[in-house]
Chains A and B, each alone.
Chain A
Amino acid sequence: AAGVIQSPRHLIKEKRETATLKCYPIPRHDTVYWYQQGPGQDPQFLISFYEKMQSDKGSIPDRFSAQQFSDYHSELNMSSLELGDSALYFCASSLLGQQNTEAFFGQGTRLTVV
């Protein structure tokens, strides 16, 4: 079965650079979530999209933005990178309109800012 695909898997950037993370949800899933997991931390919700519209916002810095495209893939854009942005970034997708839905996670993108 198709899973959530994230690219790239690993990314190294320098301070003040820009990074773009991509997420391809499971086909027919209508909702995409982005989470940030710092070293030794629990995942923190950043932002979500339902049917290509932003549906909820968590602890996402103003330097970050995200969008969902017509093909339902999503991109997380991160500018003016800081050392503290080094983390594992997860994308998850679900079919929100269906009961008992669960969020399926991608394998994550490990971002290292040096």
Chain B
Amino acid sequence: AQTVTQSQPEMSVQEAETVTLSCTYDTSESDYYLFWYKQPPSRQMILVIRQEAYKQQNATENRFSVNFQKAAKSFSLKISDSQLGDAAMYFCAYRSRHGGSQGNLIFGKGTKLSVKP
């Protein structure tokens, strides 16, 4: 079974600075997707960024980028120029691309990010 581990329950960053959230996962599959979801106090689950395992290039979405290390099974999220609105719980998630699990997500425990003005 696949597992996702986020080792940082809480992180803090100064506004305008950069922060990196860690995520590791365990799987025997070679083809899968990885995601970072943001959950602000409203509790809405918002997709931040996704990475296909077969792509070597790291995904980037504006101020958000990932460092995907497939061999190490590591998938960290870097937030540049942090803004107050980035304060939220961030979940790393894994999704199989094939097999019996038809696309359901496996989440890590989350990292609560605080942004200091």
A42 near B45 (CB under 8 angstroms)?
Answer: no
A51 to chain B, nearest CB (A): 10
Interface residues of B, dominant DSSP: loop
In whole angstroms, what is the CA distance A90 to B47 when docked? 14
A103 engages B109 (CB within 8 Å): no
Which residues of A lie under 8 Å from residue B43 when comparing CB positions?
37, 88, 107-108, 110
In the bound complex, do residue B105 and residue A48 qualify as a contact, i.e. CB atoms below 8 Å apart? Answer: no
Interface of A is mostly: strand
10 further A-B pairs in the complex, CB-CB below 8 A; given A35-B105, A41-B109, A56-B101: A33-B105, A56-B100, A88-B43, A94-B103, A100-B50, A101-B103, A102-B35, A103-B47, A103-B95, A103-B103
When distances are taken between beta carbons in the complex, the residues of chain A under 8 Å from B42 are 107
Contact indicator per residue, chain B 31-47, by CB within 8 Å of chain A (1) or not (0): 00001000000111111
Contact size class for B?
20 to 34
Bound complex: CA A64 to CA B104 (Å): 18
Q: Which B residues lie within 8 Å of A41 (CB)?
A: 109
| B interface residues (Cβ-Cβ under 8 A, vs A) | 35, 42-47, 50, 52, 91, 95, 100-110
Chain A residues within CB distance 8 Å of chain B: 31, 33, 35, 37, 41-45, 48, 50, 55-56, 58, 88, 90, 92, 94, 96, 100-105, 107-108, 110
